[in-house]
Structures are given as structure tokens and as C-alpha cells.
Structure 1
């Protein structure tokens, strides 16, 4: 298996393009990751593709500038797509003995990962716009101010909204025709929002977190990264693992028969260079 993220044609300059490698090793699974596909030699960077794909146009306040995501999400999503393709190709090779060329790129991965937002345009001709922290089709589904800070309230169906209205002490809202269905709440969110905020302002965020959680309503505070790690640890997810004495975030997969192993720490620059070059010379 070979994975690279050079520009299209970059590996061929070294005699290591797919056709070159497959001629020697027909069973090779060869994954090429580029910025914009095999016919474009443009350099690809996460920030650039967040902008070009439309992702940044969806991030930020409606009346403010677009923002990039806080991490290199396009890089991560493209890597996951590449890994999925490699696994499919390895399975095909197990069955047939044939290798193949797997290709993905940052732009295609970004467009695929925009899911309902790209579908809104492709299927409906609707160009999505920034909505801040609001959801396109669910309400309430956003951070909401309480007596001393914000709390995420994520109501995904009518039953949850009825429980929310009861927990807030305004059960009549669930029977109000303006709010009785998700479609109605979406259409009348500007009328509903101040009614919810007025009740939430009466107690601090942590007290509402307890009350709403007890009512089985998805909600939670906005944590920083430290608090996120601490939450995962408190839930028994063991988020931190030591690899070669270096602490890192645990792989999120759990496999019952073949548990994930964390054998090696991330390598230093050229740590395995001599070993890899020797392997290349032998092969």
C-alpha cells in the first residue's frame, strides 16, 4: 500500500506514479490525495478549500464575516475518505488479488461533507447562508442564554419540545399552534425564542443543565478543550493514551476482536528515514 499527497504528477517525476508502481507490483493499493483532483495542479490547503468549497460562507454570524472552522476539518475529512477507499480496495484485493488506484481530493471531500447544505443547492437550487449557531431545519437547536451563561439546547423532535416546555414551566407552548410542530417552530422561531429565553434567564446554566437533563432533553454547556477531555474521562472513555511515553488522544474506535493498539509515538522528523530508504533500495 502506498499513500501520497503530492500534487498530480509529482510522484511520476520520481518514477513512482501509479502506473510505474503497478507495473512492478500489480497488487498495490495506491492512494493519491490532492487538492482539486488529478487534472488540477493547484496547491491545496485546508483554509483555501474551506473558502472555495463554500464551507466558510456558512460559518459565522449572519451579519458578520465568514470564519474558518477551528481545526483543519477538510484535511481530516479527506483523510477519512481516503482511509475508507483504501479499506475497500484492500477488501477487493483480498477477494481478487487485484490492486487499484484510490483517489480523493480536498474539494470533493469538502463538498461531500457539507451534506444537507450542498444538497440544498444541488437538489433544490437553494444557496445556504450563514445562520450563526442556529440550525437550518431544527428549532430550538442552538446556544441559549441562561441566568449566568449559555447552554446548548438541542430539540430534535416534537416530543422533546413538549418535555422542554414542561421543564421550563410553560407547558402551554407545546400546544400553541405556532410551536406545536417542528415546521411551525421553524417558521415562528423569532416569536418562540424570547419566550424560551425569558424562562431560561431565571436560573443559572448548571441548574438548567441538571433540570433539562433529568427531563431527557439534549443540552449541555459549551466546554473548552480541557473540559471536553475531562468530560470524556468522567464518562469512562479514557480519552488519553500514552504511546512510547508521549500522551496523545486515543483512537475513537473500539473493536471487540482486534482492539486498537497504540504502539508507537508520532515519529520525529526523519526518525525512520534511513529504514525507509533502505527498504526502498531492497525493493
Structure 2
């Protein structure tokens, strides 16, 4: 049995942050029903590359879901949606602030039909504040949160992270927030409204950079692949490929020094403590670079791993996914799909009793109309045909 086997989620969301959060709930056993208008509303389906005509971007955020079409701008569509709300536990949406109210489907309305309903709204800036009504996309959030300013070459421009990191982190909070609300409902019997903001999440994720400023006034700057506060903690070039080395404390630095056959560095007054090494980083880094250039990345990874120094080769995505460790941990899975099998990244959750599983691949638009409307609302095929003809589904 899965922990959310008795939870039903209506997923009205699009793109990544909210859909991926809903997907995580599906991984834990929830019945996640994707709800879109008859023509579709998720622009991710248009983003390549494609596998058998399906967007691989869309595939990345929508496993373990069923899909129905429903036109919420029609009276009949709203009625059917409210009927579904009565039989559900969670509604997730990421329309612009105020859209659900315009549709007549805001939290207060849904709560009247189902007092235990949990509604999670995901927006760029939240439901209030001076920017509350503006749309927010991941790169904009990366820019506004300060993330881009501390990312990239110190002599280059501010740089966004190569994946939609604000969306990805938000998706984790979407799932976590909903699970917490379900647990609270177990105790109180009441549902609640969750106001999830990408900017809130990304600002909170600035962690040590933000805390340094708040408490010392220090404004972190771009350091490329170096660290603002720790040395040596960066990418180094070997005889063939670059590797990342993180000697995050004095003990690890002494281990590194021995592994590089220069134990004297560990007792050098310039490098005794992390503060010393950071102050003399311009002297330390060339010494390490000179030694690392004498062997290949594979050789150094083996030597440093043996010495218990944190190290890893800088991989491209092919190398990353073909690592023995990723394969051994089941990081990639092949799942069924309407067009044939597709390969997806597996859930990273590894619990002894949580029973995380992928039951089915990402659905095509409206793939489960007949199944869901019959199962939950008792609508038979003849009536579904009429609803389809009237652009309700």
C-alpha cells in the first residue's frame, strides 16, 4: 500500500513547478487527474525535442497521472468540475492570481462543496504584494532572487542555472506543503488554502548567501566554480577532463595534500586554516593545478576517492546518466506510454516502506475522459459524446 493511495488530486496546472509537485504526489500513490480545456493549455507540449510526437519536456513532469479535458469557462464544465471536487482531496492550479475567482472556482466556492478540500495555488509572486498580479517565469525568478548575480564567471555576466531550478525547488515545496496539509486535515478535519510563490521559494533557497548578507552585510559575488567562503573548493583541470574537488575543512585539505603528494601544504602557515587558504587562494590554486595536470581525470578521481576527498568528474548529461552509481540506484526507468515505452528519471525517494512506484507514463490530452467521468461521476459514453460536441470536454 502506498501512503497517498486514498488521496485524489485535480491538477489544473501547466509547465513545470506545479505539475512536477503533483507528479510527486502521484509517485506516492495519489490518483492525480490532469484537467485541461479541450484544446489543451500546457505550452510544454510544444517544447522539443520530441519522442514519437510527444514533448520530452512534458514527459518530465507528468508521470503517474490520468488526463481529462474540461472547459471551465462553460456552466456545464464548472458543474462537472465541482462534482469532481466533491470526490477529491486536493486541487492544484497555477493560473495568474485572480483567475480562479473570475471563473467562480476560488477556494471559498470549492470549500462550500467540500469543506476538506486543500487548494494549492502556485504563482510567480504569490496572491498579494505589489507584484501579486504579474506572471513569473523561472528565469525571471532566478534574476530577481539574486541567484543569477552569484552564478557565472566572475568576469562575465550574471548567469541563470542550466535547469529551471526555481520551478524544480518549488515543485518539492508543492508536494511537501500538500502532504503537510493532508496531515493537518487528519488531525482537524479541515482543508486549507496554500499560497505558493516561486519568488518566496527561490529567495528562501539563497541560504548561506542570504544569511551572510543579513548578518554581516556581505554581498556575495560571482566566483565561477570557486566558493565565496571555502578553499580549495572548485573545478580543476586535469590532463584530460576537469574535476570538482571540495576540501571543505582543514582535515580534508590535509588529506588532499597527502593525496597530491605534497603533505607539506598541510603545515604551511599560508594554508593552515580555511581562512588562511581563502586569503592565499591565488597562491594555493596554481600549486594544485600544476600537480593535477600530470594525470588524467580518471586517475585523480580514483586517487582522491581512495583518500576520502570529495571529488567528481565534470560530466555532460550523457556521462551523468551512464554512471554506474546512477544505474545501480535505479535512477532511470522505462515506463509504458500511449505511443510506446519512454525513458524517464525515477523518483529519488528511497524508503524502506514508502513503496514509491511509477504505475504509468505521462498521459496524452484527454486520454482518460471515458474512464474518469464514468468511474467518478457515472457519465456514460453517449452523454460524453454530447459533452464533447458542445465543447464541454
1:148 deviation in Å? 2.4
User: For 1:132-171, what aligned pairs fall within 5 Å after superposition?
Assistant: 132-171=224-263
**Alignment partner of 1:31 out of 120, 142, 145:** 120
| 2: CA distance, partners of 1:229 / 1:164 | 28
| 2: CA distance, partners of 1:190 / 1:128 | 18
Q: TM-score, normalised by structure 2?
A: 0.68
| Corresponding residue number in structure 1 for 2:158 | 66
| Corresponding residue number in structure 1 for 2:345 | 249
Of structures 1 and 2, the one with the larger relative CO (CA 8 A, separation 6+) is: 2
| Corresponding residue number in structure 2 for 1:192 | 284
Q: CA distance change for structure 1 residues 6 and 41 in 2, over 3 Å: closer, same or farther? A: same
| 1: CA distance, partners of 2:324 / 2:189 | 42
| 1: CA distance, partners of 2:114 / 2:296 | 64
| 1: CA distance, partners of 2:372 / 2:150 | 43
The 3-state SS of whatever aligns with 1:11 is helix
User: For 1:1-283, what aligned pairs fall within 5 Å after superposition?
Assistant: 1-39=90-128, 40-233=132-325, 236-244=328-336, 245-272=341-368
- Tell me, which stretches of 5 or more residues in structure 2 are unaligned? 1-89, 380-393
| 2: CA distance, partners of 1:35 / 1:163 | 45
Deviates more, 1:146-155 or 1:99-108: 146-155
| 1: CA distance, partners of 2:344 / 2:174 | 22
1:62 deviation in Å? 0.7
Q: CA distance change for structure 1 residues 219 and 42 in 2, over 3 Å: closer, same or farther? A: same
CA-based RMSD: 1.9
Q: TM-score, normalised by structure 1?
A: 0.94
User: Residues 232 and 239 of structure 1 are in contact (CA less than 8 Å); yes or no, is this contact kept in structure 2?
Assistant: no
Could you report, residue by residue, the CA deviation over 1:108-128 in whole angstroms, capped at 9, with x for unpaired residues? Answer: 111011111122222222222
Could you report, residue by residue, the CA deviation over 1:48-73 in whole angstroms, capped at 9, with x for unpaired residues? Answer: 11111111111111110111111111
User: Residues 241 and 248 of structure 1 are in contact (CA less than 8 Å); yes or no, is this contact kept in structure 2?
Assistant: yes
Deviates more, 1:234-243 or 1:170-179: 234-243
| 1: CA distance, partners of 2:96 / 2:283 | 52
| 2: CA distance, partners of 1:209 / 1:201 | 13
The 3-state SS of whatever aligns with 1:37 is coil
1:46 deviation in Å? 0.5
Deviates more, 1:15-24 or 1:264-273: 264-273
The 3-state SS of whatever aligns with 1:6 is coil
User: Residues 82 and 103 of structure 1 are in contact (CA less than 8 Å); yes or no, is this contact kept in structure 2?
Assistant: no
Could you report, residue by residue, the CA deviation over 1:189-229 in whole angstroms, capped at 9, with x for unpaired residues? Answer: 11111111111122222211111111111111111112111
- Tell me, which stretches of 5 or more residues in structure 1 are unaligned? none
Q: CA distance change for structure 1 residues 274 and 112 in 2, over 3 Å: closer, same or farther? A: farther
| 2: CA distance, partners of 1:192 / 1:231 | 31
| 2: CA distance, partners of 1:267 / 1:59 | 36
Could you report, residue by residue, the CA deviation over 1:221-255 in whole angstroms, capped at 9, with x for unpaired residues? Answer: 11111211111556611111122232211111012
| 2: CA distance, partners of 1:248 / 1:33 | 24
Q: CA distance change for structure 1 residues 88 and 142 in 2, over 3 Å: closer, same or farther? A: same
